[in-house]
Amino acid sequence: MKQKIALFFIFCLTLCTSAIAQKQKMEQDEKDEKRDARTTRIKDKTDYALFHRQMLSLKEYTDERMKIPKLKNANKMPVKVSAVVDTTIDMDDEAGNKTLIGYIKQDIGDNSTNVYEVTFDRAQKKIVGVKFTGESNEPEKEEKAAPKKAGPVKAVHKKNKDDDDDDEPEDDKPSKKDKDEDKE
């Protein structure tokens, strides 16, 4: 029995050594390329993290966070404001290597809009531009336009002749009014 185990051990050892011997060793150029790729990935990750932290400290981001309660009351849906770094930049492009683009995003329910576009300079390691995109839902404009009353305000919707009745569900059953008209 001991001879079978020893023979099996020797057989496995020869298979392993032959597999290791067949593996080609990397040349110095390949090692350098692999190391350079790893260092660029690490630099990219640190730039993304730094950019994200700087976006969170922006005045525009805090202003959008302050609007969340108003938007929740106006839309009756969950509202979320987040800072997002665009990592899908084509690295072959020279401009892509110098700058990063990020967005301050506003999510209301399933609707997602970019409120601000933020540009980060990788050489200076700081944000160089913040541009308002104008896509956000702002309840303040509606509040400023409407006069404020002392008591609670009830919304009254007056229907025009052109408005469709999409709000009310259509019933397959005829109403009493329709039955009376059919009888006459």
Percent of the chain with pLDDT over 90: 40
Nearest to 115 by CA among 149, 80, 165: 80
- Mean pLDDT over 91-103 rounds to 74
What is the predicted pLDDT for the residue at 101?
93
Structure confidence at residue 126 as a pLDDT band (50, 70, 90): very high
The CA-atom distances, in angstroms, between 149 and each of 21, 76, 152 are 86, 22, 7
45-77: pLDDT as tens digits:
999 999 999 999 999 999 999 999 999 999 888
What are the residues whose beta carbons fall under 8 Å from the beta carbon of 65, sequence distance 6 or more? 81
* pLDDT for residue 136: 60
Confidence label for 170 from pLDDT (cuts 50, 70 and 90): very low
Residue 116: exposed, middle, or buried by beta-carbon count in 10 A (0-12, 13-18, 19+)?
A: buried
Per DSSP, the three-state class of 181 is helix
pLDDT for position 102? 94
| Residues 6+ positions from 119 with CB-CB distance below 8 Å | 99, 100, 101, 102, 127, 128, 129, 130, 131
| Cα–Cα distance for residue pair 153/141, rounded to 1 Å | 17
Label residue 107 by pLDDT band (50, 70, 90). Answer: very high
Q: What is the pLDDT of the chain when averaged over all its residues?
A: 77
